[in-house]
Amino acid sequence: MGEKMLFAFISVFIMLNYGLLINGVIRRIYARVGRRIGVPVYQMYIDLFKSWGLRTNIRHGTMFYLGPVFRFTGGVGLFLFMPAVYGVALFTNFSFSGDLLLLLSFQFFGTLGMALGASESGHPNSAIGVTRGLAQMTAVEVPFILAIMAVAIQYDSLSLTEIIAAQQGGILHWTLFTNPLATVAALLAMLGAMMRSPFDVVLAPQEIPIGPPTEYHSNYMVFLQSNRAIFPLAKAILFMNLFFGGALTIWMLLIKTFILLMWPVLVGVSFPRFRVEQSIRWFLKAPFIIGLLGIAYVYFFLK
């Protein structure tokens, strides 16, 4: 167990650094699309140290403290309970036989934690941001859960390790090719889960100053920034495991997650922002129907 915990620490540390760097790269890409040069790739580190170095901070109560902690737990928990690299002890983490269900709850955990924390700050913009965030997350979960159900039925398992194992043996064994409809539904849901345009009105920097984290600063901000590095990466790893055959080496992990993270970026730089009710309607139309078709496909063609 001690060894496993050490490995978990190391893998979280590696992923945190990778996430921070990749966030820098993504900001750079956004800037280049807007014909700017953009922040240095390592700017996230400096921001982290700067926030850490603030000399004063404001307290609003216990839940205000716990909000960013829950958010961070959501990100790290999502990462820790799935095998990042299949068959490598260092990156197997704490995956177990029913981990898929736990991972689904971790998706929501951080947002709920922030809802409690941000509400205690008493700032109306936080409350508006959280309400928007939860409403949108609920709509995102619908096609995503349908896709996951399709995968679970297809492989008769709720264990990520078994799902990855079933996809080994060549690229045509990936869920991407065995059940493309579920993959498409999940990829569309991923757009909403990544907090990038067109689904980033939750963080809306103009209309409601940055939404839930309005009141958060200094060390709270460090937690939120670290989570923003780990959480999207953990989600990308989850998608990689479910639909793209998992990873057998660390390099494969890095390459696959990078490509997966570029998908919301590609959409994000191309499309303007939806309002919340527009995005909810959007998720409950095409992605929802494709998700249902994915399950039907499993029943009629794969069983």
Partner 1 sequence: MSIDDLKKKIVTSPDGDEFEVNPMTDYFCGDCPEEARPVKGILEKFYNWARSESIWVLGFGTGCGAIEMRPLMTPRFDAYRYGIQWRPTPRQANMLIVSGYLSVKTLKRVIRVYEQMQNPKYVMGLGSCTINGGMYYDSYNTIKRLDYYLPVDVYVAGCMPRPEALLAGFEKLKQLIREGNAEGANDYANRFEWYKANQKAVILNWDMPDYNW
| 57 makes contact with partner 1 (CB under 8 A) | yes
- Exposure string for 202-219, b = 16+ CB within 10 A, e = fewer: bbbeeebeebbbbbbeee
Q: Closest CB to partner 1 among 24 and 245? A: 24
| 60 makes contact with partner 1 (CB under 8 A) | no
Q: Which of 89, 101, 241 is nearest to 161 (CA)?
A: 241
| 64 makes contact with partner 1 (CB under 8 A) | no
Q: Closest CB to partner 1 among 221 and 265? A: 221
ω into 198 cis (within 30 of 0):
yes
Q: Which stretch binds partner 1 (CB under 8 A): 3-11, 165-173, 217-225, 233-241?
A: 217-225
Binding test (CB under 8 A) with partner 1, winner from 29, 69, 218, 276: 218
| 217 makes contact with partner 1 (CB under 8 A) | yes
Contacts with partner 1: how many residues (CB under 8 A)?
A: 30
CA distances from 257 to 22, 52, 173, 243, 298 (A): 10, 28, 19, 12, 26
Binding test (CB under 8 A) with partner 1, winner from 25, 88, 209, 289: 209
Residue 56, CA atoms < 13 Å, CB-side half-sphere: 1
Q: What does the block give as tokens for 195?
A: 């907090």
Q: Which stretch binds partner 1 (CB under 8 A): 9-17, 46-54, 184-192, 292-300?
A: 46-54
Q: Which of 288, 278, 290, 285 is nearest to 198 (CA)?
A: 278
Q: Closest approach of Cβ 224 to partner 1, in Å?
A: 10
Cβ atoms < 10 Å from Cβ of 172:
10
Q: Closest CB to partner 1 among 217 and 273? A: 217
Q: Which of 230, 264, 223, 258 is nearest to 244 (CA)?
A: 258
Q: Check if the beta carbon of residue 8 is closer than 8 Å to that of residue 219.
A: no
Tokens 């716990």 sit on residue = 66
Q: Which stretch binds partner 1 (CB under 8 A): 43-51, 140-148, 168-176, 275-283?
A: 43-51
| 53 makes contact with partner 1 (CB under 8 A) | yes
Instruction: Build a one-symbol-per-residue string for 268-297: x at contacts with partner 1 by CB under 8 A, - elsewhere.
Output: ------------------------------
Q: Closest CB to partner 1 among 180 and 209? A: 209
Q: Check if the beta carbon of residue 232 is closer than 8 Å to that of residue 194.
A: yes
| 17 makes contact with partner 1 (CB under 8 A) | no
| 214 makes contact with partner 1 (CB under 8 A) | yes
Give the chain's length.
303
| 61 makes contact with partner 1 (CB under 8 A) | no
Q: Which stretch binds partner 1 (CB under 8 A): 42-50, 135-143, 149-157, 259-267?
A: 42-50
Q: What does the block give as tokens for 66?
A: 């716990």
Encoded amino acid at 87, one letter: G
Q: Closest approach of Cβ 215 to partner 1, in Å?
A: 6
Helix 62-80 × helix 99-120 angle, to 10°: 160
Q: Which residues bind partner 1 (CB under 8 A)?
A: 31, 34-40, 43, 46-47, 49-50, 53-58, 205-206, 209-210, 213-218, 221
